[in-house]
Amino acid sequence: MIRDLAERLITNVEKVIVGKRDTVELTTICLLCQGHLLIEDVPGVGKTMLAKALARSIGGVFKRIQFTPDMLPSDITGTSIWNQKTGDFEFRPGPIMAQVVLADEINRATPKTQSALLEAMEERQVTVDGVTHALGQPFLVLATQNPIEYEGTFPLPEAQLDRFLMRVSIGYPSRAQQVAILDAQQFAHPIDSLTQVTDAEELMQVHEQIKAIHADPLVKEYIVALVDATREHPDVYLGASPRGALTLYRTAQARAALHGRDYVLPDDVKELVPATLGHRIILAPSARIKGVKATTILTALLADTPVPGTRVR
């Protein structure tokens, strides 16, 4: 059931996002694991369309929040307004009260406004004027940021980054793929005719089924060893948190299910390390000066950490 649902979602989204199977698969894994996704890429590669296509595929409520420096936390969570007819305050929900939320250019808002997402992303609720309001299920935040333009932006704090299940990049399509995009959008955009292929109830069932995917104790030790290695590397100031280990574990279960297996392989873990741990590593100042990147460190850690079932030379 998991593989069938995932294939339906991926095929449907690929009608809009052409030639980016790996990214669409990671996004699907994020959805099935009830996580949140950070898309870091240049403008015009389809970040917004990816979020819209996913929302239409699950029949969910889609809201877009355009982050700006003058935005307030209440612009996201909502606010209480005095109703003269009833003589009482009534809650006016903000755009966060949706199932798929696109946080566009999230790093353009101030840290105070960014922090309004923390409770929603982790606890799936918002608190306004002391009253807690539960969010619907499923709930997915897709945040975007431009890795090139930093003027007038506020870097995401570590607590915010750690709440994203994965960070991905779409990248430019090939020439042939760009021609296919031109052909597909000659008369109308494919997003306009995209249909729903699943619903919230089926997604919640699949989420529970993913938890039952078997992971051998040696694979769990491998995950912990990789996370521990990020904390001990000399070029890393702050390594991945225990939430990072849980993320790697859960996404590996989902990837195994997507490939028709009821057990996790070390290869599942290795494939997901860059997307799940890359944004959770804070480089040391000396490493930044040298131009060291988190992906380079993770590649080295994967090469140096023994894989279960192999012999150490």
Does residue 309 belong to any structural domain of this protein?
A: no
Shared-domain flag, residues 99 and 192? yes
The C-alpha atoms of residue 178 and residue 58 are separated, in whole angstroms, by 27
Strand order in the sheet with 62-66: 62-66, 100-104, 140-145, 37-40, 166-168
- Would you give the distance in Å from CA 204 to the centre of its chain? 17
Which of residues 164, 199, 234 is at a domain's end? 199
Q: Are 31 and 203 in contact (CB under 8 A)?
A: yes
Amino acid at 304: D
Which of residues 153, 175, 199 is at a domain's end? 199
Is residue 247 within a helix (H) or strand (E), and if so which, with residue range? helix 242-258
Q: How confident is the model at residue 179 (pLDDT cuts 50, 70, 90)?
A: very high
State the pLDDT at residue 238: 86
State the pLDDT at residue 311: 53
Shared-domain flag, residues 182 and 216? no
- What is the percent of the chain where pLDDT is above 70? 97
Q: What is the pLDDT of residues 151-163, one digit of tens each?
A: 778 888 888 888 8
Does residue 104 belong to any structural domain of this protein?
A: yes
Shared-domain flag, residues 144 and 26? yes
Q: What is the pLDDT of residues 22-74, one digit of tens each?
A: 999 999 999 999 899 999 888 888 888 898 899 889 888 889 999 988 888 88
Structure tokens at 247: 């993320």
State the pLDDT at residue 87: 79
Does residue 270 belong to any structural domain of this protein?
A: yes
Report the number of distinct structural domains present in the chain.
2
Q: What is the pLDDT of residues 103-129, one digit of tens each?
A: 999 988 888 888 888 888 888 888 888
Indicate if the pLDDT at residue 257 is higher than 90.
Answer: yes
Threshold 0.85, pTM exceeds: yes
Structural domain containing residue 224: 212-304
State the pLDDT at residue 273: 94
Residue carrying the six token digits 């966060």: 96
| Per-residue DSSP letter, 115 | T
